[in-house]
Amino acid sequence: MGKEWTVHNPGGSRRVIVTKQLPGNRWLDILVAADCTVEVCESDDVLSVDEITERIGDHCDGAIGQLTEDWNAELFAALKAAGGSAYSNYAVGYNNVDVAGATASGIPVGNTPGVLTETTAEMAAALTLSAGRRVVEADRFMRAGNYHGWLPTMYMGQRFHGKTVGIIGCGRIGAAYGRMMVEGFKMNLVYFDLYANENLEAFVKDYSELLVAHGEAPVTATRLDTIEDVMRTADVVSIHTVLDESTHHLVNAERLALMKDDAILINSSRGPVVDEVALVEHCKTHPEFKAGLDVFEDEPAMKPGLNELDNVTIVPHIASATTWTRQGMATLAAANVAGILQGHPLWTGDDVLPFLDGDFPPYAPSIVNAADLGIN
Ligand code: DGY
């Protein structure tokens, strides 16, 4: 049976399809102000390439799609053939998008950076604490009516204070998470990234001086040469890379084996960055080891055995799920599409906050293939 679609502003001179309901109203106001008729799919099911192609039809100016959909070259060719000239992913990550295919069809691809940073880092921190202090295990124990009195050895977990946090992929989100763990728990930080994060290193150095001035122990931030060094050194390792060919199964059985027996692994980036079968095996054979996962290799499925492990905390890809962030993502996705359709230039500001309140800036906030398409 066909999916239900809601049509907003039916008299608009442009047609934009949106493959899922998005939170808030600002995104819709932006598209309506750009004279778009906006068609929103009401179904929670993931739309297939065929279903999206059918909805694009023979006249469609732009689209906002989801990270769960396969925006392949065929789909961009269909959008182009329908007269389309703008696409935005409702996500900062765009591993579901064939950007080269979009570029070949001349379609700009937008994404939504700058509104997920702290929100996603906060979830990575929540998973870290939850895994290390066994919060979910203990919650299940309480609900099962198993608490019959305080005991000295009940649900002992990890102390974070003064230990070492490791970050793989130290861009915006990785650095925000790192700062939370350094500032909150006075952890030392090690990281692996192709580039040095000089701002983060400078911040930790200044923060360390402040701590010392207050009679506390110093903290450090050190870039290590290899992923292996981070895996060996850190008590907590959090993954914040993009997913591409170079990061697929970046955390595999060999690298897990390098980690301390009671270490914690956190993944809030993309599922396939971790070899989930290897992780299940590692967690089975290392009961003191803990993992906190927001993302899964074959989402929404989990690899066999994962959901039976007490030493794993699992949540359904909700790291960016705060109202502010999800509404902000919708606003940026709409501003990308509306900006391109109206011929606006690319935003070059330091942050995207001006898009979130007040008048809409006449810019497209973030287009990942802008350089290739000569958009500036
Ligand atoms: C993204 O934007 O890439 C996130 O995974 C969505 O939460």
Question: pLDDT tens digits, residue range 168-183?
Answer: 999 999 999 999 999 9
CA 213 to ligand 1 centroid distance, Å:
39
Residue 8 annotated in active site? no
Q: How far is the CA of 3 from the centre of ligand 1 (A)?
A: 24
Contacts by 307-314, CB closer than 8 A, 24 or more apart = 309/280, 309/283, 309/284, 310/137, 311/131, 311/283, 311/287, 312/131, 312/283, 313/127, 313/130, 313/131, 313/135, 313/136
Q: Given the residues 270, 282, 326, 344, select the one marked as catalytic.
A: 270
320 CA: nearest ligand 1 atom: 7
- The answer to whether residue 26 is catalytic is no
**Pocket of ligand 1, candidates 64, 116, 269: which has the most ligand atoms within 8 Å of its Cβ, to mutate?**
116
| Cα 155 to middle of ligand 1, angstroms | 32
Nearest-atom index, ligand 1, CA of 89: 2
Q: Are strands 188-192 and 164-168 parallel, antiparallel or unpaired?
A: parallel
Which residue, among 135, 297, 145, 164, has the nearest Cα to 230 in the 3D structure? 164
Ligand 1 center–CA 297 separation, angstroms = 15
With a Cβ cut-off of 6 Å, ligand 1 is lined by: 67, 91-93, 116, 319-320
User: Distance from the CA of 102 to the center of ligand 1, in angstroms?
Assistant: 20
Residue type, 336: N
Ligand 1: centre distance to CA 143 (Å): 32
Closest C-alpha residue for ligand 1 atom 2: 91
Please tell me which residue in 55, 179, 317, 344 is annotated as part of the active site: 317
Q: How far apart are CA 11 and CA 14, in angstroms?
A: 9
Q: Could you list the beta-strand ranges (E) of 182-305.
A: 188-192, 221-223, 236-239, 264-267, 290-293
* Strand 36-41 versus strand 5-8 pairing type: antiparallel
Query: Would you call 154 exposed, middle or buried from its count of C-beta atoms within 10 A (0-12, 13-18, 19+)?
Result: exposed
Contact 158, 189 (CB under 8 A): no
Tokens of 62: 């732009």
Pocket perturbation via mutation, ligand 1, pick of 118, 120, 127, 268 by most ligand atoms within 8 A of CB? 120
268 Cα nearest atom in ligand 1: 5
335: helix, coil or strand? helix
CB atoms within 10 A of CB 74: 16
For the CA of 120, the nearest atom of ligand 1: 7
Q: Any idea which residue has 């921190």 for tokens?
A: 125
Where do the domains of the chain lie, and which CATH numbers do they carry? 5-115+322-373 (3.40.50.720), 117-314 (3.40.50.720)
Per residue of the chain (376 residues), give pLDDT as tens: 689 999 999 999 999 999 999 999 999 999 999 999 999 999 999 999 999 999 999 999 999 999 999 999 999 999 999 999 999 999 999 999 999 999 999 999 999 999 999 999 999 999 999 999 999 999 999 999 999 999 999 999 999 999 999 999 999 999 999 999 999 999 999 999 999 999 999 999 999 999 999 999 999 999 999 999 999 999 999 999 999 999 999 999 999 999 999 999 999 999 999 999 999 999 999 999 999 999 999 999 999 999 999 999 999 999 999 999 999 999 999 999 999 999 999 999 989 999 999 999 999 999 999 999 999 9
Write the Ramachandran bin of 268: left for phi over 0, alpha for psi from -120 to 50, otherwise beta: alpha
At 171, is the secondary structure helix, strand, or coil?
coil
Task: Give the largest CA-CA distance in the chain.
Answer: 70
Kindly report, residue by residue over 276-331, the tens digit of the pLDDT. Answer: 999 999 999 999 999 999 999 999 999 999 999 999 999 999 999 999 999 999 99
154 three-class SS = coil
299 is catalytic: yes
Q: Give Rg (Cα) of the chain.
A: 23
Atom of ligand 1 nearest to the CA of 91: 2
